[in-house]
Amino acid sequence: MGIQQTIAADGQQSSTTASAPTRRPSFVIILTDDQDDLLNSTHPHFMPALNARLAQEGTRLSNFVVPTGFCCPARTSLLTGRYSHCHNLTANKNSDDKGVTVGGFRKFYEEGLDKEWVYGVLQAGGYTTHHMGKLLNGYEENCTFMSPEHLRTGYLPRGLTTLDALSEYIYSQYESCWSLNGAPRVCYPGEYQTDVLRDKAVSFIRSAAAKPDQPFLLLLAPTAPHRELNPKNGIYQPAARHRNLYAGEQIAPPQGPNFGVENPHIPWRTLDPGTDLLAEVSDDFLGRQRMLRAVDDMVDAVVAAVEETGLQESTYVFFSSDNGFHLGAFNLRFGKNTPIEEDVRIPFFARGPGIQAGAALPHQGNMIDIAPTLLTLAGLPVPDWMDGMPLPLTPDLASAHEALLRAANPQPRGPAPQPGGSPDAPQLRRDSTILEAWATNGVEYGFDESKMHFKALRLCTTARILEPSLRTDLGSEADWAARFVVGPGLYCYKYVAWCGPQELRDLYDLAADPYEIDNRFSDAPARILDRLDAVLSVLAHCSGASCRSPYSLLHPYGGVQDFAGGAPAASASESTTRPSVQAAAAPGAP
């Protein structure tokens, strides 16, 4: 084994271990790459430690989404607390075919996005901040577009105490190279990438325990279960100890009603007729699950280190993914970046002081909420430039969430409209979030990204806006996929505006139709569609407070704080005729 770089809580090399007294809360985030929620990748059979350590000893958000289901935009949303149209990093690759910067690490670097992100806010508040593993696609410590100074002295983003980043071959599990604070890379040939990261993390946590007055944020970003882009030893490379895992078992992805059924509005090429779809995706599914077992081992080791060093009373551990993944849904073999639930729903688990054990909550959370959650737990204010809100994981976080939501809405200056929906509705919660993707002039997983351009509203409200469907083939079975926990009086919908001359629209009742089979757009009342368009239009151009509550712009005189407050329940007797929806609801790239 090569000499391993290890980072201490103060940024220096250290291996000291000691117990820690009560301290300001610290945070560990484990962020996987392309891990699904709906294909049951987090099932106890596949990730037993995740379930024992975080699900049973913490809380799962079963209705958690990412605003843009693509690696770099999603990771930037996590770190900035902003939607993609606000941070303006909308693609994975550094440049398009004409050499114009469109995304990836180059966009992050040239736009100076490290001026306003969670690392900087926490560091200014007295925290040390540490990022280990994947930063962004296209990162290398010696990128030619960096300034001469950064190429000479090494690039360390503002707000980070240490950056121990994967550099080149970031998806190679047995040839990983790491750059510490921009220094020349150190490679670990023959060692498994996730295990290297695990050992770095455990070493860091042990050193942190020796500094009880120094809170920290540690983000761990393995690239599992992402496919190898230039595979030498297979597309999916599990740890050697897991190469024969599940041998003899019938391991295949769940097959719900949308498996192999085409949606003509999705502009990607689907599999050719006659293709054995299940056979095509089963190998992918098995390879992904084998790779994730090493991640599960890392979860176990990280939580064990937190407990063994006495940090459990002051440390929060979070687990999530940068985006979801589809395998067979709507006859798509594998991939992401569509608005379907498979791509935008991601796993989210949290444990720590005040977080309920063994709970599953239906609240609609969003990747942009992680940064505000950390800041609130740290006792720091959420900046106005952040679009997200604290996740209501504890009573104090729930109070902060509600206070921030009320602050985003003006007080009534006249008689307030009477809210509709359930009379015993839960506490005030943000009910609307945007999903978005842009044309990027490139190819990912063999599909043309340039056609994937949409804006979508995902709404979880106390008002039923559609009459119940008469179809009986839309439900869910236990062995199909993991669907979100339905809360009392909570109805979730998805309204998709495909950008293009045809102005295609989709509207799904996710409670009745979780697999998005029955497009209800044509039978929705015109006033409901008008309101959906209005909310989506606000969110498509929002920033800060208007992202938290689009109703503050739609109802400037106040009194309306959610969709139910301005949209009484649907009636089947209403007319569904209306003018065509304007393309303004789906603006182009920022």
Number of folded domains that form the chain: 2
End-to-end CA distance of the chain: 47
Is there a domain that residue 416 lies in? no
**Helical H runs in 40-165?**
48-50, 71-80, 84-87, 104-111, 118-124, 148-153
The answer to whether the peptide bond before residue 568 is cis (omega within 30 degrees of 0) is no
Is there a domain that residue 18 lies in? no
Query: Cα–Cα distance between 446 and 18 in angstroms, integer?
Result: 50
Residue 282 has phi, psi (to 5 degrees) of -65, -40
State whether 257 and 387 are in the same domain: yes
E-strand spans in 26-160? 26-32, 59-61, 64-65, 128-133
* Structure tokens belonging to residue 224: 């599992």
Q: Which domain holds residue 330?
A: 26-407
Is there a domain that residue 265 lies in? yes
State whether 402 and 455 are in the same domain: no
State whether 493 and 440 are in the same domain: yes
State whether 62 and 188 are in the same domain: yes
State whether 501 and 381 are in the same domain: no
Residue from 54, 104, 317, 328 nearest 205 by CA: 317
**Helical H runs in 56-96?**
71-80, 84-87
State whether 131 and 204 are in the same domain: yes
CB 33 within 8 A of CB 39: no
State whether 462 and 398 are in the same domain: no
Is there a domain that residue 1 lies in? no
Is there a domain that residue 427 lies in? no
State whether 517 and 383 are in the same domain: no
Query: Cα–Cα distance between 515 and 2 in angstroms, integer?
Result: 48
pLDDT in tens, the chain (590 residues): 344 444 555 554 333 223 333 579 999 999 999 999 999 999 999 999 999 999 999 999 999 999 999 999 999 999 999 999 999 999 998 887 788 888 999 999 999 999 999 999 999 999 999 999 999 999 999 999 999 999 999 999 999 999 999 998 899 999 999 999 999 999 999 999 999 999 999 999 999 999 989 999 999 999 999 999 877 778 999 999 999 999 999 999 988 889 989 898 987 766 777 778 898 899 999 999 999 999 999 999 999 999 999 999 999 999 999 999 999 999 988 899 999 999 999 999 999 999 999 999 999 999 999 999 999 999 999 999 999 999 999 999 999 999 999 888 876 554 443 333 333 444 689 999 999 998 764 555 445 545 678 999 999 998 899 988 877 777 656 555 556 666 778 899 999 999 877 889 999 999 889 899 999 999 999 999 999 999 999 999 999 989 999 998 998 887 888 998 876 554 444 444 433 334 333 333 43
Is there a domain that residue 74 lies in? yes
Is there a domain that residue 478 lies in? yes
Query: Cα–Cα distance between 386 and 372 in angstroms, integer?
Result: 8
With 0-12 / 13-18 / 19 or more C-beta atoms within 10 angstroms meaning exposed / middle / buried, residue 472 is: exposed
State whether 261 and 174 are in the same domain: yes
State whether 346 and 284 are in the same domain: yes
State whether 362 and 473 are in the same domain: no
Distances (CA, A) of 313 to 21, 61, 212, 220, 336: 9, 22, 12, 20, 37
Query: Cα–Cα distance between 176 and 239 in angstroms, integer?
Result: 13
Query: Cα–Cα distance between 130 and 7 in angstroms, integer?
Result: 9
Residue 211 sits in a domain whose CATH number is 3.40.720.10
Residue finishing a domain among 407, 440, 474: 407
Is there a domain that residue 163 lies in? yes
3-state secondary structure of 217: strand
Query: Cα–Cα distance between 132 and 224 in angstroms, integer?
Result: 14
Query: Cα–Cα distance between 434 and 325 in angstroms, integer?
Result: 18
State whether 392 and 445 are in the same domain: no
